[in-house]
Structures are given as structure tokens and as C-alpha cells.
Structure 1
Amino acid sequence: MLRVGLTGGLGSGKSTAARLFAGLGAHVLQSDAIGRELMEPRQAVYAKIAAHFGPDVVLADGRLDRGALARIAFTDGRVEELNAIVHPAVIAREAELSEEIRARDSRAVVIVESALIFETKYSETKYSETKYGETKYGGLHGASGAGWQDRFDRIILVTAPEEVKIARFVARSAAGDALSNERRAGLEAEARRRIAQQIPDEQKSALCDYVLTNGGALTELEWQVDQLWPLLQDAAR
């Protein structure tokens, strides 16, 4: 089995790349989807979030208010508090699912789609409170012995120009609705805040095995995925 990390900043198109790999036969695990599942009522992660952030992040029906939680995390600068609860559980679940796939298919290519492979402090078994580094982006935590090196055999980075990333975030957030100038400006500012909290692509690319560029037409990304897929299959054998 080959364990592949697929990463990229907000709006890079890593989810699109993941869908393309899935169409070729890869087993794709989406960190965001796993996180959402673990944040449902009656899950341990849900209980920890509700206890830590208080009743303001819980809706009347008992579900988490994801909008309020995002505002607290990103706008109020408490994202690392949320990560400390969610990341270890998500990574542990990914490891469990990967082992289940391995048991069924020893030659499987398992791709974990995650925006924060390098940013997170946490590994599947234990984590450290050591700070990432001294740069304003946090550096690359434990670059010589980080948890991501134990989790993955290969890393793929999906990149796109920053303005393209921002435009994609705005379009996704609008969901087809017309935006006022004020609303558009707010979404653009939110995108920039989130991008600023992620390690720049230039730093990540040095640690990745493959880089896919996704600033143009979908066919360009499709071609790159098609070229890479046989290499991943060979490595899985």
C-alpha cells in the first residue's frame, strides 16, 4: 500500500485533484469530511469542542454552529485551540481507515486530502506542544522528524496563484448568489486571513515529491494527474 498526502492551500483545487485520483482508482480520505463526522453530536470531538468553546457554538437543535466556530477560530485567533481538539482525532481516524484498506488491498493507493499536512503539530499517535518555528507562518514543524513523514510515503502539493485561490473561495462561498461589493470584499479579506495562516507553497514544495499546478483549465490538471497516477501505482506495488 502507498500512503499519499495530498495538500494545498485554500482554493488551490486539491479537492478537484482528489476527485480525479479517485476516478482512476485511488482510495481518497478527506480530512474535512472526517472532521465533520467527528464533530457530530454524541461524538467525543463534539463534546470537547462544546465544553471548550461554550454554548455560543451550539445551535438550538444540538448541532455545532460551524459559522460561529469558524469566526471564533479564525477571526478571534483561536484556531490552534480548535486544532488541538480536532486534528489528533482526525489523524487517528485516517490511520484506522488506511489500515482497513490495506487489509483489503495490499497494493492500494490511499490518498489523504488535507490542507494542513505540514501545518499541524499532531501525529496519529502522539503530539508535541513544541512551536513550529520562528517565521510568521510557523515554519515547517519538525522538518527533520515531523509526524507527516511517518504518516505518508509520498506528498503531493496542488498550487495556484493567490488571486485564483481567493476568487475560488469567493465563488464557493457565494454558491451562485449575487454578491454585494461589501460582501465580496469581506469574503476576499477572509480568504487572505486564512491563506496567511498557512505555510506558503514555496516552502511546502521543497518537501513534496510532486507538485501539481492548477491555475488554468481543468484539462491541464487532468493531464498532470493522469501522468502521475501510474507512478503512484508502481510505488504501491
Structure 2
Amino acid sequence: MKIIGLTGGIGSGKSTVVKMFKSLGVPIYIADDEAKKLLAKSKVIKRKVIALLGDDAYTKDGPNKPYIASKIFNDSHLLAEMNGIIHPKVATHFKRWVSKQKGRYCIKEAAVLFENDGYKKCDATILVTAPEKLRIQRVMARDGVAKEQVLERMKNQWEDEKKLKLANFVIENIDIEMTKKLVYNLHKKITNLFC
């Protein structure tokens, strides 16, 4: 089975595009969701995260996400350490998941596909883009956060210009109907190219 990596900056609409591919019958693996599950369930990860960030990283109910975010998104060293704890476990989980899938290709959606070299393990990549102003508006509306917080998160991701050099395909996600057409056409193209 071919593996197509899908990524895009915060607010670009990766989730929307992923749902469109899913409606076409493509198996979808959302790396960030699996990372969150592992953060909550894995005793090994919990132990390592507490060693890195302190006891406040977890409450009796599970990961203390606001605390963890406040630490790692303001410190690139801590973010890299955190990724080093979680990404190898996600990669192992993904391999097992792929072996159980049926179909011609699957999509692995990951926010930092290029930043952490995950694209090197994909047969091709899709970059979802949108103008920065629109992306900021989307995240502010979705997460109920201030513009400054969105810009802070954006600093931890590469600029689209840098990602464009590594992407095989680009979907500009501004108008929902146009995006549907782009996804459908790309699905046909990938099926013909790789399968």
C-alpha cells in the first residue's frame, strides 16, 4: 500500500481535506490524534514527559494539555525533546495500522510531516495551504484564542514556501466547493500514478 503524507500549517484546513479523502474511501491515519492517545495511555511516555516537564504535566484525569502546551510551544528545545518521546511511538503504531488497511493507498496526516522528516517515509506528499490571514481567523474562531497565541503556534511550523519545495501535490483550501473538486481530481491522479 502506498503512503501519502498530508500536511499543512495550522488553520490551513487539513482536517477538512482529510474528511474529503475519507469520503472517497481512502484509509486515514491522523498522527496528532494518535499522539494524544499515546500521551494519555502510555505509561512509558507519561514517565518520560514527567521527567522532562515536571509533575504538573499530568493530573489525575490525564495529560495537563494547557500546561504541556505552555511549556513546549515557548521552548524549541523542550518541543524537540517532547517530539523525541512521542514520534517514535506514533511511527511504530502507524506501521501496525498500515498492515491492517485495505485499499490502494492511505493518507497519513501529520502537522509536522516535513519538520520531522516524516515525509521521507511517504511515497508522495500533499500540502494543504491557505492565506495566512484566513488561517489565523480560522484558528481564532475554532480554538477561541487570541491572534498572538495563533502566531506563537505558527512559529513552530515551517513557512509554506519551505514546505512547497518538498510537496508533490498542493491543495489550496479557500473555497470549500473548489477544494472538493481538487481533492477528487487528486484522488484520481494518485490512484492512476501509484496504484
TM bin (shorter chain):
over 0.9
Q: Secondary structure at the match of 2:63?
A: coil
- Deviation at residue 49 of structure 1 after TM alignment: 1.1
Segments ≥4 residues shifted beyond 6 Å: none
Q: Where does residue 100 of structure 1 map in the other structure?
A: 100
The aligned residue for residue 12 of structure 2 is 12
Task: Find the aligned partners of 2:75 and 2:194 in 1 and give their Cα distance.
Answer: 43
Superposed, 1:1-237 pairs within 5 Å as 1-59=1-59, 61-77=60-76, 78-101=78-101, 105=102, 107-120=103-116, 148-149=119-120, 151-174=121-144, 187-214=146-173, 216-237=174-195
Aligned residues: 194
Deviations 1:155-210 (A, max 9, x none): 00000111111111111112xxxxxxxxx5xx211111121221111111121110
CA distance in 1, matches of 2:69, 2:98: 28
Q: Distance in 1 between matches of 2:12 and 2:92?
A: 25
Cα distance in 2 for partners of 1:221, 1:43 equals 40
Bigger helix share: 2
Q: Which has the higher contact order (CA 8 A, sep 6+)?
A: 2
The TM-score, its normalising length taken from structure 1, stands at 0.77
Report the RMSD for the aligned CA atoms in angstroms: 1.6
Measure how far apart 1:47 and its partner are. Answer: 2.6
**Whole-angstrom CA distance in 2 between matches of 1:47 and 1:221:** 42
Identity between Structure 1 and Structure 2 (%): 30
2:57–2:64: 8 Å Cα contact kept in structure 1? yes
SS state of the match for residue 162, structure 2? helix
Q: Is the 8 A contact 1:2 1:232 kept in 2?
A: no
More strand by percentage: 2
Unaligned runs of 5+ in 1: 121-145, 175-183
Contiguous gaps of at least 5 residues in structure 2:
none
Q: Which TM-score applies when normalising by structure 2?
A: 0.92
Q: Distance in 2 between matches of 1:41 and 1:62?
A: 11
